[in-house]
Amino acid sequence: MSYELPTPPTDLPTAVVNALNESSPSSLRDVARYAEALAEHKEREARLEEASPEGELEKRPDNLPDDVPTKATTTVKEINDNRYYYWQW
């Protein structure tokens, strides 16, 4: 490992570089974990958009509960390897 300050990517905004340079090692590790998770999330979203072409409507099930609004959609969240399904409108 070099004793010199690493060179930031050229496309990284100066404000971000300055904020990172002023951060503690602990904060930098937190930022790195968050940035990796965010990149994975955005890549997954892009894959999902490619998989379902725009304009293609999802079919609504016929057996919806009575209190679900007509414009509600099913949202899926994955937390700690568990999938949660809920209505969102």
Each residue's pLDDT tens digit, 35-87: 999 999 898 888 877 766 554 555 666 666 777 777 777 788 888 888 887 77
The model's pTM is 0.53
Catalogue the E-assigned strands of 1-89.
73-79, 82-88
CA separation for the pair 6, 79 (Å, rounded): 34
CA separation for the pair 65, 69 (Å, rounded): 9
What integer pLDDT is reported at residue 32 of this predicted model?
95
CA separation for the pair 53, 8 (Å, rounded): 37
